[in-house]
Structure 1
């Protein structure tokens, strides 16, 4: 690659010599080298030491990109969701910044199933009158069609009281279940053995005007059904309700109303590469660029996206042992589609060339905790069926090294496959990353470590319109942007601890060895902490069955 000198001029104010720009933290060892060489501004330097790179990656720089994302959302209906003009403008912005910095940028297009709900209503009309609340009493199925239907609910092969065995109801799973069904009625079916999309397709073929799916009824299967039909294609509205409500609706007159867009659209990933001395040991880092349709997505995940842009711009002049590849993923909010498309598009040889993957999905939550994906599973063994490739523990320790040197408390969070690292670990690629919490509630013990408020979500505006430029904790965003810079640079120099490929020590690095001896590690968290740090439990469209 030929690096360009046409980088966008941007003066980044540095702190005092020898100090990082982290709020309320101590300086890294060796940070005295943070003074620009010969007074050069950051964009004119190589930034190939820890002190230089972290000194130039600043909160002001990250916020510059976040303000751009907010402005893009404001100009495009308040959203940056994949398949909308707001996403395309976000991708254009990332490409322009990275190309101006000298990175080689490509766009990887793919088709995906788009869904955006704009309104809904659910009510009982007769024999009694009742109006139900979305989220509490019902949920619209992802990929539901639009429609406004008032008709009689007709039960289809339901089991009330619930079957003794969980996931055994076959209600609506076969066309024969709808023998005798009255066309125009609302099909009342029960969760069970087959996908919701199959139930709705059978109901639609039988002439149903809408579908209400109620939960199966056993312990753990009583709440509102929050599901997905899997893909666009339905022509009737579909909602889910809890067992207690759904099991009483047979024969009642109901109103089901949904207004939504459900169709296939095109979107893309943005991939940027900085060649190193070798091309077969690639250090990858990624963040999803899309928001949910409901809002601008500034914390989720403008924060990770902006931090990566800031690191990339300040790393562009470095000549590194390993190739570095950054990715901004599309359609993450609809079941991790962009990252999955990327990994599955790689040849076996290309997958082998990827040494590791770092994931940054929400790094500035307003009621944050400092969480690292638990690659050594010392606190949270991975759920059954979720692989944790060898070397993932060492990636966790890289982030811990940084937090330890800063004197910052941190914790593990479950490696559960609920963000864009999922496709990478499925392909056997060691992975790790940072997370500051989503909809789970902050625990009492965490307030002493991080500040904030117990009993309140790490991000109270998660997946809502309020996830805007004010929905951030500046200190967390600042600290984690430097942690990202530290980890990328450290591994760009040497991945030996992860995959055995020997490089060279990163200038200014602080590898500490035995993680069990670390002062600031909260492992395991106190018993009162359920889920210790709040696992990343994105709602990517609901259950399929």
Structure 2
């Protein structure tokens, strides 16, 4: 017999009471014995080529579902390929029981496809003219023929658009404000279409995005400085130019979501965060861009479930990156000041397996980025050095999902293996591969499939991701504390870049 309060209860009664208490609580899914604290070497040991290859194959199968709407494999937002991608990620995480808290963050995002386009000026075809991403089509998807009218002062205010723009095609210089804003103001002024020309000689044709949708936006195409400046000069002299603009496209808003997985354990005031984007462009399946980063994060998350952590680790798979970092921007915009301050750092992993790779580290510095960004850069450099491989520094210019974080005071960094850029002879000596060719010759194309992966680079970079997670999940004692938000605002004025995602935004 045992005492329970002032009453005597036999052992059988006590066991029943204990059982009832246990049944009133959530089930315990944890291991029979405590998990060890995560360390880099142990976490890296879980990374292997067969697991990466199997997931790449499954991701391509997901992309095939995009064929129903687009006629070829794609994982663009709003497609069956993207929804299947998200399902694959979520099901892999759910298998781990309560180790991760998995949530979906829904938002509306624009997506679109450009099927055909052309621009003719004074009956001469302009060979190098590229429609902006997310541009609406010309009226009834037919050519519009109208006089070209020059807009003043880079077209960022309604007063810059003369009355003659009504019914005409506006010619606008790049600069000061976003392309989407210029197009919207042109439409608000009655323009039938818009041409935006580069303001940087020798930089080539603009390849930009309209960004968020605006009902006033009109069909908009980009040209080089060399083309546009000649037309602007002629119009300034009151010469007449006639243009024929044609864009066949569709653009619409779709419902999509970010997928977030956070460890149930660890210090909630010290969150270690990393992300990759789950979507591809409409043109192809995106198995390297960014299927490689998506899969690397899945494998590291699965491996991490075998360990304990000191600090919370938060994995994110962003949607709408290819439309202009929409998912990551939305996520950061929804953070409260407290939630923002709890994120100690963000690490971006976009394109880990380019076939003609270079080991690229974002050149983040603390003077124009949040303090701690330089420490992240050094972590990556130290890893490559310890593994006896070369590395190169690349601009930290807003081309991937770290952008919203660093603009809101959160230290950021990351690695990549290269996109459409051309490998130099010096880089060929450092990394092998072919000088004079793109790091990823299939970048944003249909051939970005399972054959478009370099496993040597992918394995090492996935191990580096594991190393970064293990290092900071175990301890942040040596990592700089967050700086004030006022300091972030001051730095933002110094670090403004024209990129917001892979396309120019202004």
Structure-2-length-normalised TM-score: 0.79
Instruction: Select 1:82's aligned residue among 77, 84, 95.
Output: 77
Alignment RMSD, CA only? 3.2
Instruction: Select 1:209's aligned residue among 161, 182, 192.
Output: 192
Distance in 1 separating the partners of 2:390 and 2:399: 24
Deviations 1:270-299 (A, max 9, x none): 000113342221111111111111111111
Distance in 1 separating the partners of 2:364 and 2:171: 44
**Secondary structure, aligned partner of 1:298:** coil
The verdict on how the C-alpha distance between 1:118 and 1:283 changes in structure 2, with shifts beyond 3 A counting, is same
**Secondary structure, aligned partner of 1:469:** coil
Q: Is the 8 A contact 2:103 2:261 kept in 1?
A: yes
Q: Which aligned pairs between 1:19-418 and structure 2 lie closer than 5 A?
A: 48-77=38-67, 78-102=73-97, 103-124=100-121, 128=123, 130-133=124-127, 137-147=128-138, 148-157=141-150, 169-170=153-154, 173-174=157-158, 177-180=161-164, 183=167, 185-191=168-174, 195-205=178-188, 207-215=190-198, 220=201, 223-232=204-213, 233-234=215-216, 236-246=218-228, 247-248=230-231, 251-376=240-365, 387-418=368-399
Distance in 1 separating the partners of 2:290 and 2:194: 34
The verdict on how the C-alpha distance between 1:479 and 1:2 changes in structure 2, with shifts beyond 3 A counting, is farther
Larger Rg belongs to:
2
The verdict on how the C-alpha distance between 1:84 and 1:450 changes in structure 2, with shifts beyond 3 A counting, is same
Deviations 1:476-513 (A, max 9, x none): 00111111111211211111121369xxxxxxxxxxxx
The verdict on how the C-alpha distance between 1:306 and 1:178 changes in structure 2, with shifts beyond 3 A counting, is same
Note the C-alpha offset of 1:255.
Answer: 3.1
Q: Is the 8 A contact 2:137 2:249 kept in 1?
A: yes
Instruction: Select 1:436's aligned residue among 412, 417, 431.
Output: 417
The verdict on how the C-alpha distance between 1:318 and 1:199 changes in structure 2, with shifts beyond 3 A counting, is closer
Which moved further from structure 2: 472-481 or 230-239?
230-239
Q: Is the 8 A contact 1:156 1:171 kept in 2?
A: no
Distance in 1 separating the partners of 2:59 and 2:429: 33
Distance in 2 separating the partners of 1:286 and 1:178: 45
Note the C-alpha offset of 1:101.
Answer: 2.3
Q: Is the 8 A contact 2:76 2:281 kept in 1?
A: yes
Task: Give the number of the structure whose residues are more often helix, by fraction.
Answer: 2
Distance in 1 separating the partners of 2:298 and 2:288: 15
Structure-1-length-normalised TM-score: 0.74
Distance in 1 separating the partners of 2:222 and 2:266: 54
Number of aligned residue pairs: 449
Note the C-alpha offset of 1:360.
Answer: 0.6
Distance in 2 separating the partners of 1:358 and 1:398: 11
Structure 2: runs of 5+ lacking an equivalent: 1-25, 68-72, 483-496
